[in-house]
Structure 1
Amino acid sequence: MLSIKSALAKPFAKRAYKRIKKWAEKPIETQEKVFQELISKAAATSFGKDHDFISINNHSDFVKRVPVRDYEALRSYVEKAVSGEENVLWTGKPIYFAKTSGTTSGSKYIPITKESMPTHVEAARNAILMYIHETGNAKFVDGKMIFLQGSPILKEQNGIQLGRLSGIVAHYVPKYLQKNRLPSWETNCIEDWETKVDAIVEETLPENMTVISGIPSWVQMYFEKLQQKTGKKVGDIFKNFNLFIFGGVNYEPYRAKFENLIGRKVDSIELYPASEGFFAFQDKQNEKGMLLQLNSGIFYEFIKADDFFNDNPKRITIADVEIGVNYVMIISTNAGLWAYNIGDTVEFTSTNPYRVIVSGRIKHFISAFGEHVIGKEVEQAMKEATLNTAVRVSEFTVAPQINPTEGLPYHEWFVEFENEPENLSALAKNIDQSLQKQNSYYFDLIEGKVLQPLKITKVKKDGFQEYMKSVGKLGGQNKIPRLSNDRKIAKHFSTD
């Protein structure tokens, strides 16, 4: 029998579906409206005056006046806003700064405004409502839900709250879900990640968990601790657990491991949230890609990844994107980020409606020899090579070996196995063949005897967790880069 809450969820989901369908069916007009609103609202800000927003009427005007910037290039404006100055990047003051630990810039302070905050919350809610509308499954709203996230404790600076995005969002859980939500506030505030996960295990074990959510690598740690404590599969501990919500990384490399830990298949919803905005969510269970949020105060531009480092690469809008091309995503938002490069690369899987997959990071690629290998390609190669085998991989990262002790240079794959292959060389060969098939540059370098085929270096159990702990990035929103163009991470695992 359906409870009142789950019965009400269905008409609520239908309304959300109709609202989303309305703008998804008019994508170009929707983005044009967002663009015009952003430019007119920010015309009187410091940034708007410096870039002559009052003269911007269309996208080509915008391209002429506003160059693409990363955080470092925008830092001088952000620092003025952090110091409490008003009307810098957006009208008034931000209500939060999401503090992130950048790999190249030290700490970053990403502004969140009263206009942008609701879009983070609505997108997460709409992802669940679209799932209910499509599947008719609403029973899970009666059970307990967990989101593995950063501490919700915020600090104040110049009248603005600072914290991690997941901690900020924790303050916006709707009232009707408060009683269903775990972990407790006290447990959520524990800073040490391992201590926190142990406390979460204790809190959740006796509960009727129906939804579990978080970055896959950290949910995996939680699942493993549950299994160690009980000797049971997660699906046997939580009989009604049927929905896994995740974001931040590609789930495919974790899928086989998760199904083994859970003991059965569960539905999943993929999200694409970031401190800079909530960009996309999976709107269909059987369609590849996530629905790009075109009506959320974010205007999108795209630059072909292959052209990104050229002088003056072409910036296009969604009207001109093509399916299957690797693009750097550039955003302008109602939080005051303008032509901002968040560092992610995406590919469109559909343009009716517009759906994307995250293909990697523009900085996280290997092109030490001109091969342009991206995250999506190495993940696909690992997936193909382990398909229909007993091999299970916990985590991996790839780096170039430019100066080997003997022979040609190669790509070195550092792999932590859950189930090891009987023949490591055969697995390496299969991965390499898949990579050559996907990437013509890599194929040419192998054929031309510039590179030798890749080699696998085994990483001991929990080696990646130990590495993340050693660099102060265990837990929260932190994740292992899939690729590096240098050997900074490799040196932690390398035997040379």
Structure 2
Amino acid sequence: MSVKSFIAKLFAKSIYNETQKWTQKPVETQQKVFQDLIRQAKETQFGKDHQFNKIKTYSDFAKQVPIRDYEDLKPYIEEVTKGKENILWPGKPIYFAKTSGTTSGAKYIPLTKQSMPFHIKAARNAILSYIHETGNADFVDGKMIFLQGSPKLEEKNGIKLGRLSGIVAHYVPKYLQKNRLPSWETNSIDDWETKVDAIVEETFSENMTVISGIPSWVQMYFEKLHQKGNKPIGEIFKNFNLFIYGGVNYEPYRAKFENLMGRKVDAIELFPASEGFFAYQDSQKEKGMLLLLNSGIFYEFVKADEFYTQNPKRYTIGEVELGVNYALIISTNAGLWAYNIGDTVEFTSLQPYRVIVSGRLKHYISAFGEHVIGKEVEEAIKQAITGTNISINEFTVAPQINPKNGLPYHEWFIEFENEPADLQEFALQIDQAMRKQNVYYDDLISGNVLRTLIITKVSKNGFQKYMQSIGKLGGQNKLPRLSNDRKIADKLL
């Protein structure tokens, strides 16, 4: 055991003990976060507009601060982007994480001196939790790669801005700098395909032990490595034993990944976003990710199927239930207040509180009242490929409301790595898995409102070409699993 791995194990134990303290007092922990947020923001413009000085309880807060999305909060954010102080949070943000919105164009999410450290600590603690549970720390002596956006930052009225993953690159601890790849120069390449080619050249002969990134883009990196080395990734990188990912569900990619790697590798799931780092997988044995209740974020939850009703009930951490699909609402030490991030979660455990990301509020299909969510389509395809040699690269689903012949249906666009021998039988298996999960979908099939789903094959690299065509190839960009219209479908066709 090296000195570095020995120290890592000691540090992991310390962080584990620290984590246990707040996980055992979840309600009290969230109450303290809530009180600290209100106290610190009393004299901000937002705090004055919403009478924070009169807020004594969560009930007061819920009455005075409505749920908002980016468009609703935009007037305040525009004041912040002009360089004004004390608008949403004391002082000015130190960064804006620039993201692409669907209706609002570019979105500027503030990152403050208080919020930024939690992004770094959460990623670090996810790795330390893995070390504590498994005892595996040898990988700290090897090279680590983080596929991310460019670290080059712009500036807007004295506030630096860039992609979150590029901002985080400025905070890599000194003890990891020598182990970290790719180089700063390669990481700064804007064109994703050129960047991945350069990363392959830089890493091919290195002792890579940890690889991190969104699965769809890591897959592209693995494919290029395989082309260069003509052998599995597990043979190219003999000591590669930890894959860290976030942003999308890994399960639809798992079979393809294991085929590319030639062996199984432990994985850690993260739940980061520009708005905050919400959860990480703290156990290889338990389902779900540990919700971070002590990280400067106060959480509220609204049942997803009630979200668009008038005045839906807002729940706090002590009121949530297992297996319910909740919209995630946050108030943070970056100045977001009762903010709807658009993600939905389900709790898999209440002791401690663990979640899975079940989908997006706006990424669903309910063209016929079926309200199909991301978790359901991912679980259906997982069931259909389990125990087979079928593997897929990517998929998305859209409704076909006006077919030329017959009943309407859900159209599944799938890019296969290994195709099923019988495509219709495979489609039927997915359909049956969908019907078991979603009673509304089952009723529509049974009532002859919908016919069973149809699979449309997408050509090799078809999804990459689509993402490139809309300027979203690589980085933190993700393909929506579901659409309630045919914008993506028509482009693919």
CA distance in 1, matches of 2:401, 2:45: 46
Residue deviations 1:371-390, cap 9 Å, x none?
A: 01000000000011111111
CA distance in 2, matches of 1:105, 1:256: 37
1:268 is aligned to 2:303 = no
CA distance in 1, matches of 2:77, 2:156: 14
Residue deviations 1:57-116, cap 9 Å, x none?
A: 111111100000000010000010011000000000000000001122210000000000
Report 1:443-462 matches (<5 A).
Answer: 443-462=442-461
CA distance in 2, matches of 1:300, 1:104: 25
Q: Which residue of 2 aligns with 1:405?
A: 404
CA distance in 1, matches of 2:432, 2:368: 18
Residue deviations 1:253-312, cap 9 Å, x none?
A: 011110000000011110000000000000000100000000000000000001011111
Q: Which residue of 1 aligns with 2:139?
A: 140
Q: Which residue of 2 aligns with 1:304?
A: 303
Runs ≥4 in structure 1, deviation > 4 angstroms? none
Residue deviations 1:179-223, cap 9 Å, x none?
A: 000000000000000000000000001100000000000000000
Q: Which residue of 1 aligns with 2:469?
A: 470
Secondary structure at the aligned position of 1:325 is classed as coil
CA distance in 2, matches of 1:396, 1:103: 20
Q: Which residue of 2 aligns with 1:103?
A: 102
Residue deviations 1:412-435, cap 9 Å, x none?
A: 000000001111100111100100
Q: Which residue of 2 aligns with 1:420?
A: 419
CA distance in 2, matches of 1:471, 1:352: 43
Structure 1: 5+ residue stretches without partners: none
CA distance in 1, matches of 2:40, 2:215: 38
1:50 is aligned to 2:20 = no
Q: Which residue of 2 aligns with 1:185?
A: 184
CA distance in 2, matches of 1:451, 1:59: 45
1:123 is aligned to 2:126 = no
Question: What is the identity, as a one-letter code, of the residue corresponding to 1:189?
Answer: S
1:201 is aligned to 2:200 = yes
Q: Which residue of 1 aligns with 2:352?
A: 353
1:322 is aligned to 2:321 = yes
CA distance in 2, matches of 1:29, 1:104: 38
CA distance in 2, matches of 1:330, 1:157: 28
Secondary structure at the aligned position of 1:460 is classed as coil
Question: What is the identity, as a one-letter code, of the residue corresponding to 1:377?
Answer: E
1:369 is aligned to 2:368 = yes
Give the C-alpha shift of residue 36 in structure 1: 0.3
Give the C-alpha shift of residue 493 in structure 1: 1.9
CA distance in 2, matches of 1:179, 1:408: 60
CA distance in 2, matches of 1:166, 1:489: 26
CA distance in 2, matches of 1:210, 1:394: 24
Question: What is the identity, as a one-letter code, of the residue corresponding to 1:135?
Answer: T
Q: Which residue of 2 aligns with 1:336?
A: 335
Question: What is the identity, as a one-letter code, of the residue corresponding to 1:254?
Answer: Y
Report 1:107-256 matches (<5 A).
Answer: 107-256=106-255
Question: What is the identity, as a one-letter code, of the residue corresponding to 2:467?
Answer: M
CA distance in 1, matches of 2:451, 2:307: 28
Question: What is the identity, as a one-letter code, of the residue corresponding to 2:214?
Answer: I
CA distance in 2, matches of 1:196, 1:104: 29
CA distance in 1, matches of 2:350, 2:57: 22
CA distance in 1, matches of 2:279, 2:378: 21
Question: What is the identity, as a one-letter code, of the residue corresponding to 2:284?
Answer: Q
Secondary structure at the aligned position of 1:430 is classed as helix
Report 1:57-76 matches (<5 A).
Answer: 57-76=56-75
CA distance in 1, matches of 2:296, 2:6: 31
Residue deviations 1:131-186, cap 9 Å, x none?
A: 11111111000000000000000011111100000000000000000000000000
Secondary structure at the aligned position of 1:489 is classed as helix
Identity %: 74
Give the C-alpha shift of residue 230 in structure 1: 1.1
CA distance in 2, matches of 1:144, 1:168: 21
Secondary structure at the aligned position of 1:171 is classed as helix
Question: What is the identity, as a one-letter code, of the residue corresponding to 2:360?
Answer: R
Q: Which residue of 1 aligns with 2:278?
A: 279
CA distance in 2, matches of 1:37, 1:298: 10
Secondary structure at the aligned position of 2:47 is classed as helix
CA distance in 1, matches of 2:81, 2:35: 26
CA distance in 2, matches of 1:205, 1:179: 17
Residue deviations 1:307-358, cap 9 Å, x none?
A: 0111110000011100000000000000000000000000000000000000
Residue deviations 1:395-426, cap 9 Å, x none?
A: 00000000000111100000000001111100
Question: What is the identity, as a one-letter code, of the residue corresponding to 2:255?
Answer: A
CA distance in 1, matches of 2:104, 2:317: 29
Question: What is the identity, as a one-letter code, of the residue corresponding to 2:455?
Answer: I
CA distance in 2, matches of 1:190, 1:50: 43
Q: Which residue of 2 aligns with 1:79?
A: 78
CA distance in 2, matches of 1:130, 1:389: 33
Question: What is the identity, as a one-letter code, of the residue corresponding to 1:218?
Answer: W
Give the C-alpha shift of residue 39 in structure 1: 0.5
TM score, norm. by length of structure 1: 0.99
Secondary structure at the aligned position of 2:300 is classed as strand
